[in-house]
Amino acid sequence: MSGSAPQRTEPTTAELRHRPRLIVNTGNGKGKSTAAFGMGLRAWAQGWSIGVFQFIKSGRWHTGEQQAYAQLDQAHRTTGVGGPVEWQSLGSGWSWLRATEGTDQAAMAAAGWAHVRTLLAAQTHRLYILDEFAHVLNKGWLDVDEVADDLAHRPGTQHVVITGRNCPAGIIGIADIVTSMDNVKHPFGKGERGQAGIEW
Amino acid sequence: MSGSAPQRTEPTTAELRHRPRLIVNTGNGKGKSTAAFGMGLRAWAQGWSIGVFQFIKSGRWHTGEQQAYAQLDQAHRTTGVGGPVEWQSLGSGWSWLRATEGTDQAAMAAAGWAHVRTLLAAQTHRLYILDEFAHVLNKGWLDVDEVADDLAHRPGTQHVVITGRNCPAGIIGIADIVTSMDNVKHPFGKGERGQAGIEW
């Protein structure tokens, strides 16, 4: 709202359709990260730049999603369809953090968040998936109030999705959409193994 | 377990990793379908054939996911990476049901399920996403017990994901993994609009 246009008090429908969202997928059940990656498909189809940042060691988790996103990124770069994807995995070493790889998890989390803050300030991506970021916050590796302040004051219409159990109240409080994925029934309780193609 | 090898009573790790799963994403919150589509990325990366069946009119919902899956399907067909994708949307007319398009929703649901049953019997896909199928079951358009029986006796290691609110107990009872996506906070409650790239 600029002072030179005081008559325009109602936002347009287009403006109402393009507000920055902070989305939290929390709870003890399946689907927190998976839904975030599913949401990224819509962002890709809109032609948005996507940044995926995995904040804990991933092992083979999400490798299927990573492969699919790499394919979508390649399709964008070669034919122009969809949007580009940046995928940074703390587990396999952040590309800009090789020198400090092997340091403690708190330091890696701090460096990871510093990177994301820089990208947010520059409005590098339109959608950020901060995978397992709630876990990092719960561990006390970052100051929740500072992170919340940075998120609340990010410029433009950058959407952020945070996943992880027990997301702190300081983040829930400023979030626009919060969903709790709760476990109703799971075979791991019966000692069964994870299934190829289902869990990874 | 063949009779010629009675000594083999313990399944191998590989066998434990390849059991057919019936997965239900239910609840009143976001992420039920989105998590199902995210799960499909893993299946794609495993090279599995995927069938997506949308059981209610989709409008523009999921069009972003559909575009991304079309790209992944094309990548498979042209370069061999990942797996193929069949995507059938009841909302835009099932391709094998044009003659009866415009008939009532119960008839369309019945025809849709008949199609999926045929595919299951032929083991056509490795992963089936039956989007909003819980809604169809709740409407009474199909017999829950018959559907549960068909699902419970599907051959091979075909995984099925069912999404939708209030999934009937007859399906929950035979499911392997059930997650309830519950709404904690959502701006629609404050009268806000859906966001491009976020809701579709």
pLDDT tens track for A146-161 = 999 999 999 999 999 9
- Which residues are CB-contacts of A114 (< 8 A; sequence separation ≥ 6)? none
d(CA A133, CA A170): 13
The CA distance from A15 to A12, in Å, is: 5
- What would the two tokens of residue B172 be? 């929950």
Cβ <8 Å between B179 and A181: yes
Contact: A182, B187; criterion CB under 8 Å: no
Q: What amino acid occupies position B145? A: D
Q: How far is A48 from chain B (nearest CA, A)?
A: 8
Ranges assigned E (strand) in A20-158: 22-26, 50-54, 85-89, 127-131
Is B119 part of a structural domain of the chain? Answer: yes
State CA A127 to chain mean position distance.
Answer: 7
Does the pLDDT at position B101 exceed 50?
Answer: no
In a domain, B195, yes or no: no
Q: Which residues of A touch B183 (CB under 8 A)?
A: 178-179
**In the prediction, which pLDDT does B1 show?**
41
The chain B residue lying nearest A190, using CA atoms, is: B176
Residues in chain A closer than 8 A to B44 (CB atoms): 64, 67-68
**Once rounded to an integer, what is the mean pLDDT over residues B34-60?**
90
Structural domain harbouring A97 = 19-182
pLDDT along chain A (200 residues), means of 10: 53 71 95 95 96 79 88 97 92 54 72 94 97 93 96 96 96 96 77 66
Residue B105: per-residue pLDDT: 77
Here the tokens at position A187 are 């075979």
Give the contacts of A93 (CB within 8 A, at least 6 positions apart).
Answer: A101
Element (H, E) at A148: helix A144-152
Domain membership of residue A196 (yes or no) is: no
pLDDT at B3: 45
Per the domain annotation, does B93 fall within a domain? yes
The reply to whether A9 falls in a domain is: no
- Could you report the predicted ipTM of this complex, rounded to two decimals? 0.82
Residues B142/B113, Cβ–Cβ less than 8 Å: yes
User: Would the CB atoms of A30 and B177 count as touching at under 8 Å?
Assistant: yes
CA angle, B16 then B18 then B24, to 5°:
105
Q: Say if B107 falls within a structural domain.
A: yes
Of A13, A44, A198, the CB nearest to B42: A198
Q: Where are the beta strands (DSSP E) in B3-83?
A: 22-26, 50-54
- Within 8 A of A187 by CB-CB distance, chain B residues are 176-177
**Does B67 have pLDDT greater than 80?**
yes
- Contact list, B169 vs chain A (CB under 8 Å): none
d(CA B150, CA B155): 10
Closest to A17 (Cβ–Cβ): which among B34, B39, B196? Answer: B196
Among A18, A192, A196, beta carbon nearest to B196:
A18
> Quick one: angle between helices B63-79 and B32-45, nearest 10?
10
Encode pLDDT of B24-37 as tens digits. 999 999 999 999 99
* Residue A191 placed within a domain: no
How many helical (H) and strand (E) elements, i.e. helices and strands, does chain A have?
7, 6
- For B188, the token pair is 């629609």
Domain count, chain B: 1
Nearest to A45 by CA among B131, B74, B57, B198: B198
Residue A61 belongs to domain with CATH number: 3.40.50.300
Tell me how far CA of residue A39 lies from CA of A99, B6, B137, in angstroms: 33, 48, 26
Q: Give the pLDDT band (50/70/90) at residue B90.
A: confident
Inter-chain touch B43–A30, beta carbons under 8 Å: no
The reply to whether B6 falls in a domain is no
